[in-house]
Amino acid sequence: MSTRHERRPVGPPQGQRLVVDLHCHALSLEVERLVADRPEKKAEPQLQLRAQGEASTLHNATVMLPRAMPKLTDIELRLRDMDSMGVDVQVVSPSPNQYYYWADEELAREIVRVQNEHIASLADGHPRRIVGLGTLAPQHPRLAVEQLEHGVRRLGLRGFEVSSSVNGLELSDSSLEPVWARAEELGCLIFLHPLGTSLGARLDRFYLCNTVGQPVETTVALSHLIFGGVLDRYPGLKLCAAHGGGYLPHYLGRSDHAFRVRPEAGHIQRPPSEYLKGIWFDTVVHDPEVLRRLIDIVGASQVVVGTDYPFDMGAYDVQALVDAVPGLSDAERARILGINAAELLGLDAAETQRT
C-alpha cells in the first residue's frame, strides 16, 4: 500500500473528457462480520422500520439492497459499470451504513482499520480507475486524528467520509476541533455524507427519510460548520458536500439575512454565502436547472460529478446531465466532469492541463 500522498496518473485517452465520480460507495463484508453480534447492529432493522416506514423498509430489503450489494462488493462489476457509464475514475467511499459511530474505542479502531485497508486495496489494485476515501471514528476524536494520519500517510487515502452529526453532536462541537485541524494540515478531503435523518417519524413514509431527510441533514451540518466558526478557524479545510449541499445553496438569502440582523448568528467573519464559494458540491441534484442554479451560486470551479453509485437514488448519466445545463462553456463542462475533482484530490491527469 502507498506510503505517501503521491500524485497518481489517471485519465481517458487523449482528446476525451475526463470524468471523475467523487460520490460512490463500497461495502466491507469484513466490517459486517465485526459488528454482527453487537446489540446496536441487531437493533438496526427495528430502527430502520421506525425511520423509513414499512413500505420503504420492505422495498429496500427485497429490491434496492439485493441489486446494490453485488455492485458494492464486486470490483470487476464496478469497473464494467464505470465503463458503461463513461466514468474514468471513481472516488470510492464507504457505504454510509458502515459508519457505526456507536462503537466503543476498541471496536471503532478495528472497524476503521478494516474499512480503510479495504478501500485502499481497491485503489492500489486499480490505481488508474479507483481513488480511496476512508472513514473515521469521530466519536473518539483522539483516535480519529490517528486514523487521519495513518489513512493519508500509510494507506494513500485522499480523504475521509463523515456523517452530518456524531451521536447527536454537531460537526461544530468543540470535541472535533483536533480532527478538523489535522485534516486541514494534511490537505485531505472531508466528504460530508449524511446517514438517515434526525426528523424522525415525520419522514417515515414515501421515502421522505431520504428524499427530504438527507438534504436537510446536509443543510444543517453545513450551517453548523459555517455559523459555528469551523470554517473561520480552518480556512484551508477541503470540504465536499453530497447531494448538491442539500437545500442550503438554494436558500442562502435567509442565512445571509440572519447573519446581518441576528447577533447570535453574526459572530462569523463573512456572510454564509461567501463560505460556499470555498466548499465543493456534487452533481447529485437530478435536474439540469437545479444544477445550473448551484453553479450560479458557488461557481463552476466548486462543482464535481457524483453518481451515488450504486444506490437507486443515484444519478448515473452524468455526462448528459452536465451537457444539459444551459449556458455552460466547454471549459466549464470539462472542469465539472473531471478537472475540478482531479485538482482537488491531487490526481495527475493530463486533462487537467487542457482547460
pLDDT tens digit sequence for 247-287: 999 999 999 999 999 999 999 999 999 999 999 999 999 99
User: Before 310, cis peptide (omega within 30)?
Assistant: yes
Q: How far apart are CA 271 and CA 261, in angstroms?
A: 11
Domains of the chain: 8-44+70-199+213-353 (3.20.20.140)
Question: Is residue 330 predicted with pLDDT exceeding 90?
Answer: yes
Percent of the chain with pLDDT over 90: 91
> What residue has cell string 442565512?
255
pLDDT at 348: 81
What average pLDDT score do residues 136-158 get?
97
pTM for the structure as a whole: 0.93
pLDDT at 235: 97
pLDDT at 355: 32
Q: For residue range 149-187, what is the model confidence (pLDDT) as tens digits?
A: 999 999 999 999 999 999 999 999 999 999 999 999 999
**Helix and strand counts by DSSP (H, E) for the chain:** 18, 12
pLDDT at 136: 98
What average pLDDT score do residues 197-209 get?
92
Q: How far apart are CA 118 and CA 92, in angstroms?
A: 11
Q: How far apart are CA 338 and CA 349, in angstroms?
A: 9
Question: Is residue 15 predicted with pLDDT exceeding 90?
Answer: no
Question: Is residue 241 predicted with pLDDT exceeding 70?
Answer: yes
pLDDT at 112: 98
Question: Is residue 140 predicted with pLDDT exceeding 90?
Answer: yes
Q: For residue range 284-293, what is the model confidence (pLDDT) as tens digits?
A: 999 999 999 9
pLDDT at 11: 57
Q: How far apart are CA 296 and CA 272, in angstroms?
A: 15
Q: For residue range 87-102, what is the model confidence (pLDDT) as tens digits?
A: 999 999 999 999 999 9
**Mean predicted lDDT score pLDDT of the chain:** 93
pLDDT at 3: 43
Judge whether 167 and 220 are in contact, CB under 8 Å.
no
pLDDT at 2: 44
pLDDT at 196: 87
